[in-house]
Amino acid sequence: MTTQQLVAQIKQKKSFLCIGLDVDLEKIPKHLLNLEDPIFEFNKAIIDATHHLCVAYKPNTAFYEAYGIKGWQALAKTITYINKEYPEIFTIADAKRGDIGNTSTMYAKAFFEDLAFDSVTVAPYMGKDSVEPFLAFKNKHTIMLALTSNEGAFDFQTKKVGELELYKQVLETSKNWKNAENLMYVVGATKAEYFKEIRKIIPTSFLLVPGVGAQGGSLQDVCKYGLSENIGLLINSSRGIIYASNSDDFAKVAALKAKELQQQMELYF
Ligand SMILES: O=c1ccn([C@@H]2O[C@H](COP(=O)(O)O)[C@@H](O)[C@H]2O)c(=O)[nH]1
């Protein structure tokens, strides 16, 4: 998907909501556990109930890898379902990959070609030659960790490396990499006070913003300085939406939670 197509969808739906599909078999309604593929059935029900309210889905691959081959098959079925039924939706494999060049190419093939995701999250720690293999894929997007939502972000990311904090170095350096137009960045909603500085460095790049909902981040605080002329934000909520109910009405209640966030987003159009 091109960035222009993503922006068009955002404007049409008046939404920049990304729903995280982090499926934990201990949290989903018990009746689903009797089905052949409970993970996929849970996702399908959530997707069918919420696709008109959000512009992106983000399965975190850890929640699928934890269930071995069945989990990976459920992930493949989920992305295939979204791409077939709702092709306008932007898909994010939250896998946080990155390795030496030839290995990164294989990761990129796995998520962009085999699974046909629109984007994948990567870690910047191994530098340019570990990220550029992802950037080489046309109309695919590489979402690099910049300033994460967790407490541990303060261990390294906000520490100065020379003149600049590490997260600023990551932004300044990567914006000059080959095919940098395919780069997006992860910035946590719990770090809203950093968005003003971040937008000075990357005024137009898309930011994937996890941390609203279960982690306590505020959509309004993020929007204050995070919005760009083309919106430029994908605000993610996972547990706050998909586990709002664990009864038969789970998909309906998830849609109500998604609608609450979408209505807050509508005010920015
Ligand atoms: O900095 C980061 C990077 C990734 N995540 C991931 O986003 C979701 C958040 O889930 P919630 O249930 O809405 O808290 C999850 O997959 C994280 O691994 C993040 O939270 N922070």
3-263 to CATH, choices 3.20.20.105, 3.20.20.70, 3.40.50.150, 1.10.1740.10: 3.20.20.70
Q: How far is the centre of ligand 1, averaged over its atoms, from the C-alpha of 33 (Å)?
A: 25
Model ipTM over 0.95: yes
Q: Which residues line ligand 1 (CB under 6 A)?
A: 20, 22, 60, 94, 148-150, 186, 188, 210-211, 213-215, 236-240
pLDDT at residue 59 in the model: 98
pLDDT in single tens digits along all 269 residues of the chain: 999 999 999 999 999 999 999 999 999 999 999 999 999 999 999 999 999 999 999 999 999 999 999 999 999 999 999 999 999 999 999 999 999 999 999 999 999 999 999 999 999 999 999 999 999 999 999 999 999 999 999 999 999 999 999 999 999 999 999 999 999 999 999 999 999 999 999 999 999 999 998 999 999 999 999 999 999 999 999 999 999 999 999 999 999 999 999 999 999 99
pTM: predicted TM-score of the whole model, two decimal places: 0.98
Residue 265 and residue 212 in contact, taking contact as beta carbons nearer than 8 Å = no
Task: Pull the structure tokens for residue 162.
Answer: 């020379």
Given ligand 1 and candidates 236, 239, 241, which is best to mutate, with the most ligand atoms within 8 Å of its CB? 236
Q: How far is the centre of ligand 1, averaged over its atoms, from the C-alpha of 231 (Å)?
A: 21
pLDDT at residue 54 in the model: 98
Active site residue 14: no
